Structure 1
Amino acid sequence: MIIPHQQLDKDTLYNLIESYVLREGTDYGEQEFSIESKVAQVKQQLTTGEALVFFSELHESVTIISKSEFKALQSEEQFNE
C-alpha cells in the first residue's frame, strides 16, 4: 500500500528517509555526499513521484521504493492471482 509522504509527520518522514539512505549503502561513485544531501535527494524523489513510501502488509514494515519497483511488485501480484 502506498502512503502519501505528505501525510507523514515531518520528523517521521525525515527518520524514514534517513533510515533508507543508511540502509542503501554509501557507494555513490567518485563523489561523496553527506547524509543530509542524500536525504534531500530522496525527499525530492518522493516529491516528484520517482520514489514512494510503501507499507508492506506482509512484512508489516514501511520503506521507500522506486516507482519502477512498485510497478514490478504490482505486476508480480497480478501474475500470482
Structure 2
Amino acid sequence: MIDGAWQSHATPFSVAELMDDTERPAPAEAVDDRPAAPDPKPEPEPVIPTLPTVAVERDGDGVPVKPAWLGRTDLA
C-alpha cells in the first residue's frame, strides 16, 4: 500500500489456498528392488554461448553513461 493513496476498486479480489488435490494421479509403484539400468549413451552437456565482453563507460556511481539498448537496430 502506498502512503497517502486510498482508492476503491470495482473489482472484487479473492484469495484461496489449495489444501488437497483430489484429481492427482496415484503414485507409481516399484516393480522390483533392482536399481534401474544406466542409459547406454549419456546426453551431452548443453553448450552455453558466451557473449563478448565490452568495456562500458561508467560514471562515479558505476552506472553506465550510455544505456545498452540505445542505438540497437534489432529492437522493435
Note whether the superposition's TM-score is higher than 0.5. Answer: no
Higher relative contact order structure (alpha carbons within 8 Å, sequence separation ≥ 6): 1
Q: Normalized per residue, which structure has more strand?
A: 1
Q: Normalized per residue, which structure has more helix?
A: 1
TM category (shorter chain) comes to under 0.3
Instruction: Report the TM-score, using the length of structure 1 for normalisation.
Output: 0.15
Instruction: Report the TM-score, using the length of structure 2 for normalisation.
Output: 0.16
